[in-house]
Amino acid sequence: MKSRLIATVLMSFGLSLMMSCWVTFINLGLTEAFLGQWMAAFRLAWPAAAVLAFLLGPPVNRATAFLAGKLP
């Protein structure tokens, strides 16, 4: 459970950081407001991403095992 929580936090952090950067850049371009808007978007995105990643982790792992033909 500890490693699942750590993996969830790290993965959701990285993905939220990069995706909020990308979407903010698409919407605003590289303006003076970019950094502030990006951080505001990231602060909202990370908790949601962490909860979703934690809840969706087991079903995604099962689906991956099924699709890869690794189920018993």
Helix boundaries (H) for 1-72: 2-28, 34-67
Confidence band, pLDDT 50/70/90 cuts, at residue 1 = confident
The pLDDT score that the predictor gives to residue 48 is: 96
- Domain edges within the chain: 2-67
Average pLDDT over residues 2-25: 95
pLDDT tens digit sequence for 14-60: 999 999 999 999 999 999 999 999 999 999 999 999 999 999 999 99
Q: Estimate to the nearest angstrom the gap between the alpha carbon of 38 and the chain centroid.
A: 15
Statement: residue 71 has pLDDT above 80: no
Residue 56 has, within 13 A of its CA and on its CB side, a CA count of 10
The amino acid at residue 49 is A
What 3-state DSSP class applies to 18? helix
